[in-house]
Structures are given as structure tokens and as C-alpha cells.
Amino acid sequence: MICGSVEQAAERLRKAVPIMVRHGIPVTPLNYALWYAYVSNEDPTLNLRIDEIVAAYGMIPLTSAEGLFREHVSPAGNYETALVRVKDNLEQMVQGIDKDLHATIADTRSFSSLLDECNRDLRAPSSSKTNVDDIFGTLDKLLQGSTAMQENTSRFEQRLSSANDEIRRLRNELETLRQDAMHDELTGVFNRRAFDLELGQFLGQGERGPAIHLAMLDIDHFKQFNDRFGHVVGDRVLALVGKQLNAITRVGVSVYRYGGEEFALIFCGGTVVQATQLTETLRFSIERLVLKDSRNGERLANITVSIGVASRGAGETAEDLVARTDAALYQAKSDGRNRVCQV
């Protein structure tokens, strides 16, 4: 999807970055690919979907971004390879812009030095008696023009230097992203880093943003799975729960592995009643799961979860919301587990 000349790529990047900044879109190769495709106007359906999601949520949730990427940017489904290609092309683009900026800065400095030299030569005493006043009048105009050019050049250099710093920051960020994925490998859901990033984005919109509801889910008696059947079976339990969680993801509902046997769900929009109903449906679907011995099909145990749900309060920080939701989760456990508690 990322193609064309370096000039075209640079122009599309210049268009895409301000839009991403305006909507608070995080710096990831996937998001760059989406917004690069958006400003290219090559896929009207993609642009319409992006416009609708941004209008509804003020941003693009990670779940929606990934779905759009798979559907429109990399239809073949080769997700990781496509992201690597996007990142490599962006790095090449950034390196090209970086090189041009250095060349431009050097050129403007040379031009400024040349003007200074001309001014010194022209202001030197002349042996000619012809039109002395005219000569000095021209010199004064040239001197004024040169002074203005030097001031403009200085401002231009500052702007270019700032852009250069931003390019270095972007390159460092892209390198960090290469080593810091957004997904939990075992369960297939988003990881804790993605949770912290996206919850911060949603809450950062303040009162102008959509309603935000948070659910924290914990697998009941998970330690017993590890103790009785071993960590391999424990991993199977995590993977099974992750599969059920992935099944309910949609626009406005994102799922994350918070840590250990604990998961989180962010609901963007709708009411807390709707969020609670969806988590109850999720709890019931997990309750129906039966863990079996892969060798003989013997039934080992049932899997249940406890869930706490809370809505963002006015001016509430991410830490406060997580703490209240955790309190609801522990209340669900205290009340007997395998239930949903909403505060």
C-alpha cells in the first residue's frame, strides 16, 4: 500500500502527521499505514469508515484500527510482514527528509555568507567618480535586503532544526515500537501497554469525549489450574478465555490482558447498563467452557470468571477508574465468584 516516489511519500506524510496529532492518534506503524492510506484518497470506503469512527469516538480505538488495517491496507492478512514493510518505508522516507533538511540548512548558510561578502565588497570605497550617490543608494537597498534575508534565514533554520529534532524523535519511536508490540502473544488480545495507552487517550478527551466504562475480569481459582494440572494447562485456560474475549470485540469494545490471569475491557460509548449486560453474556459464555485432557478427552474442570464494572466519573484519572473497577471485581469475588459486580 505504501508506494510511489519519495516526494509523494513525503507529501502524504506531511498531510497525515498533523491529522494524527489533532486526533491524538498514537505513533504506531499500523496507524501510520492507516492515515497514509487515508490522505492518499485511494480507498473511499476506508476514508468513510475512518471518518465515522473518529466522529463517534474522537479517535480510532486500537481494535478498530487493526480491523481497518486488515480489511483495507493488508487484505491478504499478512499483518506482521505488512507492518515491517510500512516501518521500513517510513524509515527510508524519514532518512530522505533528514538528508534534505541538512542540505537546505547548509545552502541557506552559504547564501547568507555570500550576501555578507557582497555587502562588504560593495560598501568598500570606490575609485570611480560616476554616480556615487546612486551606487551608495543601491548599496543601502542591498544591505537592507541582505539584513532581512539573514533574519528570514535564521528563522528558517530554526524551523528546519525543529523539524529535524522531530524526525529524530520519530525514528527513535519507531525503533521502540519494533521491540514493544501491542499484543499479548498467548491470548491474542491487546496487552497492558496498549491498555494504558488507549485508556489514557479516552480519558484525555475529558467531557467532550464519549462515555467510558471499564471492566476488570479475573479467572477464578486460576492458581489451582497451575497447581493441579501444570502451567501448560494454565496457559490453555488463558488462551481459551482470550478466545472468548476476542469473540466479543467490536467497534467501541476493546479487550486487553492486564496481567497474569486478569483481563480488562474498555467500552467506548453506550451506557453502563449495556456494558454490564455484555460482560454478563461474556461471563456466561466462559462458564460453559469445559477444560478437557488433550490426551484422552477426560473432563478436568470448568472455567469461571469474576468481573467488576465501573463508569468514568467527572475528572477521574485512569488510576482512579482502575482502582474503583478493581474494587468492584473484588466485591464480585467476595460475593462468591462467577458473577458481575457493577459500581
CATH code for position 289: 3.30.70.270
- Residue from 263, 252, 284, 253 nearest 188 by CA: 263
First to last CA, the chain: 46
Question: Rounded CA gap, 255 and 267, in Å?
Answer: 9
β-bridge mates for residue 190, sequence order: 183, 256
Q: How far is CA 160 from CA 57, 97, 275, in A?
A: 34, 11, 48
Domain boundary among 124, 150, 180: 180
Domain boundary among 180, 215, 248: 180
Four-residue CA torsion sign, 119, 125, 130, 132: positive
What's the domain range around 162? 1-180
| Residue 4 belongs to some domain of the structure | yes
State whether 43 and 175 are in the same domain.
yes
β-bridge mates for residue 218, sequence order: 262, 306
State whether 164 and 223 are in the same domain.
no
- The separation between CA 82 and the C-alpha centre of its own chain, rounded to angstroms, equals 17
At residue 251, the 3 state secondary structure works out as coil
State whether 232 and 332 are in the same domain.
yes
| Residue 187 belongs to some domain of the structure | no
Domain count, the chain: 2
Question: Rounded CA gap, 265 and 244, in Å?
Answer: 12
* Beta carbons of 159 and 9 less than 8 angstroms apart: no
Run of H or E residues at 220: none
* Beta carbons of 119 and 142 less than 8 angstroms apart: yes
At 285, list the grid cell: 459464555
Active-site choice (11, 157, 261, 287): 261
- Does this model's pTM top 0.75? no
- Residue from 329, 342, 340 nearest 218 by CA: 329
State whether 250 and 172 are in the same domain.
no
Give the pLDDT of the chain (343 residues) as one tens digit per residue: 444 455 666 677 777 777 887 777 776 667 777 888 888 888 899 999 988 888 888 778 877 888 888 788 776 555 555 556 556 655 665 666 566 666 666 666 665 665 666 565 656 665 454 456 655 654 565 565 566 556 655 655 665 566 566 566 656 655 555 545 678 889 989 999 889 988 998 888 877 788 999 999 999 999 998 898 888 889 999 999 999 999 988 888 999 999 999 999 999 999 999 999 999 999 999 999 888 877 777 787 889 999 999 999 888 899 999 999 999 999 999 999 999 999 9
Residues 6+ apart with CB under 8 A from 229: 300, 301
State yes or no: is 261 an active-site residue: yes
| Residue 205 belongs to some domain of the structure | yes
State whether 60 and 167 are in the same domain.
yes
| Residue 89 belongs to some domain of the structure | yes
Half-sphere exposure of 267 (CA within 13 A, CB side): 22
Instruction: Say how many C-beta atoms besides its own lie within 10 A of residue 42's C-beta.
Output: 13
State whether 244 and 277 are in the same domain.
yes
pLDDT of residue 323: 96
Residues 6+ apart with CB under 8 A from 258: 192, 195, 216, 264
| Residue 210 belongs to some domain of the structure | yes
State whether 12 and 66 are in the same domain.
yes
* Beta carbons of 247 and 284 less than 8 angstroms apart: no
| Residue 149 belongs to some domain of the structure | yes
State whether 150 and 17 are in the same domain.
yes
State whether 245 and 116 are in the same domain.
no
Phi/psi at 301 (5° precision): -170, 165
At residue 26, the 3 state secondary structure works out as coil
State whether 252 and 152 are in the same domain.
no
- Residue from 245, 216, 226, 201 nearest 300 by CA: 226
| Residue 186 belongs to some domain of the structure | no
| Residue 48 belongs to some domain of the structure | yes
Question: Rounded CA gap, 209 and 56, in Å?
Answer: 9
- Residue from 159, 155, 160, 169 nearest 21 by CA: 169
Residues 6+ apart with CB under 8 A from 192: 256, 257, 258, 259
State whether 65 and 204 are in the same domain.
no
Instruction: Say how many C-beta atoms besides its own lie within 10 A of residue 112's C-beta.
Output: 18
State whether 19 and 140 are in the same domain.
yes
Domain boundary among 159, 180, 201: 180
Question: Rounded CA gap, 322 and 334, in Å?
Answer: 18
Question: Rounded CA gap, 271 and 276, in Å?
Answer: 9
